[in-house]
Structure 1
Amino acid sequence: MASYTDEQISRYLRHIGYAQIEDVKRHFAENPLWLLTTIQILHMARVPFESLSLHYSKYRTLSLDLEDLFAKVVDRGRGGYCMEVNAFFAAVLRSLGFTLFSTGGRVRGEIGYKGWDHMVNIVTINNQRYLVDVGFGTNGATRPVPLRHGHEFLTVFPTQGMLEYCSIDAHTDPNQRVWVYLVRQNEEAPWQEMYCFGELEFISGDFEVMNMRTSSAPQSFFVQSVMCMQTILDEEKRNPVGKMILHRDYVKKQIGDGSEILKRLEREPQRVEALKQYFDIVLTEEEQKGIRGLVSELKDRSKHA
């Protein structure tokens, strides 16, 4: 399977702020789950879950080529949506020596489960499989999740997650079973199904088909919405405590069970500046021109009043 060179991995680890580059092999040998958890947390605080290339681009196409992804994430300081960041992260983990495979997921929408439109990684450590997903946004898991029926865990306080191995309402065969990822916003809130996935390995051709539709269909959330999200860590850079979110025309900061709108965005220059201020993403002049004429473009409404 394709992977990255030692030099590329060193650059990536510096990019996410992993200080002990020389100790990775020792950490992998001593406690691979600790290493995986640490890298996932740091990754999600540095590499944003975002849809910018579908709006701020002349071509508005997303490549899953690993060299293209490395250049985008490490060289340009960007991120991507699920298939981009999870494909990239899978290659990083494989390069570090982890055993894993990638598979497809179905996200649950307002009227039920959609087709294959999500990607997750399944990592095996000491005969235990873990869900590792760095590309599901605000409700995503921030640490590896063991594939155990009924297992509950904390994502970012107070939001909780759970895995169930069960059938879904879309199944016609009652014997079918998949892993269902559920979330509740606090202990009093009801559980909500987010997505489901199986344990069949998907190959690169599967993701190419999924990527084409998800990045181009007019009804796709990512095509419709400019969004960017990163995890906020505590002062020790060890635990996720919140999220920074840019969605369409606002920037919001969530810490614990509180949230604050930091900025309302009325025009494109404001959104471009917000990406730089809150996510350290600098769009080129050419990228900024790419959104002109799209429904996602922010226009000064006062001029049309």
Structure 2
Amino acid sequence: MTTELTTAIPTLDWNVDALDLDAYLRRIGLPTPSVSVPGLAVLHEAHVRTIPFDNVEVMLGRTPSLELPAIVDKLVRRQRGGYCFEHGLLFAAVLERLGYEVTRCMARVGFDEPDAPLTHLMSLVRLGKERFLVDVGFGSGLLVPLPLTEGAYTDHGGWPFRLRREGPYWLLEAFTNGTWRIGHGFDETPQRLVDYVVANHYIATHPDSPFTRRLIVQRKAHGTCRKLLGREYRVEYADGRPAESREITATELGEVLRSLGIVVDDIELARLRKVYAGK
């Protein structure tokens, strides 16, 4: 007698019904967009330009929750920012509620580095016969979706990005200082929520994580990318002008955070200032 082995593929419940779609659209300042390639691009850019990329929660000593109701409360209702897991899970839920076909995946930032872990959430979206890389949580990365085709090349607020195949992997590359550099690499393996929970724990708590070492905030728009990296406030320009940079003090921190769209209360600001002062 032979025993047949079968592999059951679980039905994943991303709890998208927990999303308040109307509140999200008010947050990013859009009416309900059409389910179309232009509609997807408008939605993607509005999200990136409205909701900050930051690790404030980690600098406050907390691990961000990846449960969708908690993400909605933080990024939508409390008008806070977050990093890739929060941005990506929120945006994927929005797309599914609107009727897009979404596959949540994982990327390796610094793909060409031998010890780079899988720690970045991005999604693949299918619309008819077309597919796109959707990546609203990559800091100073994509403003709009990138067609999932070999050699796809698009402009993102003045910064060019392209996709390149290497075996089973897609490599997202940015044109920087006259050369193409890999931002991250990924395959098309669908992920489960627990995969992100594990990676999120590493990103938020491990001493080797770049997000546990210093405050990171990034805001991208057409032509400019504003960054707060530790004590350095930096403005980069897409037209090749030299970046502007200055060191900020703990006293200035609240004003700089507000200018970057970061909303924290007085207690949180006091804790961040102590981190800034090295206390």
TM-score bracket, shorter-length normalisation? 0.7 to 0.9
Distance in 2 between residues matched to 1:250 and 1:133, nearest whole Å: 25
Residue 153 of structure 1 corresponds to: 154
Distance in 2 between residues matched to 1:270 and 1:67, nearest whole Å: 33
Residue 174 of structure 1 corresponds to: none
Residue 163 of structure 1 corresponds to: 163
Q: Show CA shifts across 1:81-116 (max 9, x none).
A: 111111111111111111101011111178445111
- Aligned: 1:37 with 2:16: no
1:201 CA displacement:
0.3
Identity between Structure 1 and Structure 2 (%): 25
1:299 CA displacement:
5.4
User: Structure 1 residues 288, 107: closer, same or farther in 2, change over 3 A?
Assistant: same
Matches within 5 A, 1:1-305: 1=13, 2-4=15-17, 8-18=20-30, 20-21=31-32, 24=33, 27-28=34-35, 32-55=36-59, 57=60, 59-108=61-110, 111-112=113-114, 114-138=116-140, 140-157=141-158, 159-167=159-167, 177-185=168-176, 189-232=178-221, 240-257=222-239, 258-261=241-244, 264-266=247-249, 268-276=250-258, 278-291=259-272, 294=275, 297-298=276-277
SS of residue matched to 1:114: coil
TM-score (norm 1): 0.80
Report the number of matched residues.
265
Q: Which amino acid in 2 is paired with 1:273?
A: E
1:288 CA displacement:
2.5
Q: Is the 8 A contact 2:52 2:261 kept in 1?
A: no
Distance in 2 between residues matched to 1:270 and 1:281, nearest whole Å: 14
Q: Is the 8 A contact 1:52 1:80 kept in 2?
A: yes
Distance in 2 between residues matched to 1:65 and 1:290, nearest whole Å: 25
Distance in 2 between residues matched to 1:101 and 1:70, nearest whole Å: 20
Structure 1 unmatched ranges of 5 or more: 168-176, 233-239, 301-305
User: Structure 1 residues 105, 113: closer, same or farther in 2, change over 3 A?
Assistant: farther
Q: Show CA shifts across 1:186-223 (max 9, x none).
A: 6xx12111110111100101111111111111111111
1:226 CA displacement:
0.4
Distance in 2 between residues matched to 1:137 and 1:182, nearest whole Å: 14
SS of residue matched to 1:62: coil
Q: Is the 8 A contact 2:155 2:161 kept in 1?
A: yes
User: Structure 1 residues 110, 99: closer, same or farther in 2, change over 3 A?
Assistant: closer
Q: Which amino acid in 1 is paired with 2:116?
A: K
Q: Is the 8 A contact 2:52 2:262 kept in 1?
A: no
Q: Is the 8 A contact 1:4 1:92 kept in 2?
A: no
Residue 10 of structure 2 corresponds to: none
Distance in 2 between residues matched to 1:73 and 1:263, nearest whole Å: 28
TM-score (norm 2): 0.87
Q: Show CA shifts across 1:228-261 (max 9, x none).
A: 11222xxxxxxx3322222211322334323553
Distance in 1 between residues matched to 2:124 and 2:105, nearest whole Å: 8
Structure 2 unmatched ranges of 5 or more: 1-12
Q: Is the 8 A contact 2:80 2:263 kept in 1?
A: no
User: Structure 1 residues 52, 125: closer, same or farther in 2, change over 3 A?
Assistant: same
Distance in 1 between residues matched to 2:180 and 2:115, nearest whole Å: 16
User: Structure 1 residues 129, 110: closer, same or farther in 2, change over 3 A?
Assistant: closer
What is the CA RMSD across the aligned residues, in angstroms? 2.2
